[in-house]
Amino acid sequence: MCGRSSLTKTEKEIEQRFHATFYSEELERYNPLPNYNVAPTQYHPVITDEDPEHLHLYKWGLIPFWSKDAKSGYKMINAKLETLEEKPTFRNLVKTRRCLVPMDGFYEWMHKEGHKIPYRICTKDREIFAAAGLWEIWKDTSGNEIRTFTIITCPANDAIQPLHDRMPAILSRDHEKLWISRDISGHEALQLLIPYPSDLMHIYRVSEKVNNVRINEPELIQEIE
- The values of phi and psi at residue 147, to 5°, are -100, 130
Catalytic: which of 50, 85, 108, 219? 108
Q: Decide which of 48 and 141 is more confident.
A: 48
CA 57 to chain centroid: 12
Q: Whole-number mean pLDDT of the chain?
A: 93
What is the Cα–Cα distance from 145 to 155, expressed in whole angstroms? 33
CA-CA distance, 9 to 104, in Å (whole number)?
Answer: 8
CA distance 166 to 6: 18
DSSP at 12: H
Q: What is the mean pLDDT of residues 26-50?
A: 91
Residue 131 identity: A
**Tell me: the pLDDT tens digits for 151-199?**
999 999 999 999 999 999 999 999 999 999 999 999 999 999 999 999 9
pLDDT greater than 70 at residue 1: no
Tell me 39's DSSP state.
-
State how far the Cα of 73 lies from the Cα of 148, in Å rounded to an integer: 8
Query: Which residues have a Cβ under 8 Å from the Cβ of 78 and sit 6 or more positions away?
Result: 1, 2, 3, 150, 151, 152, 153, 166
113 catalytic residue (yes or no): no
Both ends of the chain: CA-CA distance in Å? 25
C-alpha to C-alpha distances, 169 to 76, 99, 177, 195, 206, nearest whole angstrom:
15, 12, 15, 6, 23
Whole-structure pTM value: 0.95
List the catalytic residue out of 2, 99, 122, 154.
2
Range of the domain at 147: 5-221
- Whether 188 is a known active-site residue: answer no
Cα–Cα distance for residue pair 220/6, rounded to 1 Å: 10
Domain CATH number, residue 22:
3.90.1680.10
Which amino acid does the sequence have at 186? G
Q: Domains in the chain: how many in total?
A: 1
C-alpha to C-alpha distances, 174 to 165, 170, 171, 179, nearest whole angstrom: 26, 12, 8, 10
What is the mean predicted confidence (pLDDT) over 123-134? Answer: 96
For the chain, percent of residues with pLDDT exceeding 90: 84
State the pLDDT at residue 198: 96
CA angle 145, 148, 151 (to 5 degrees): 170
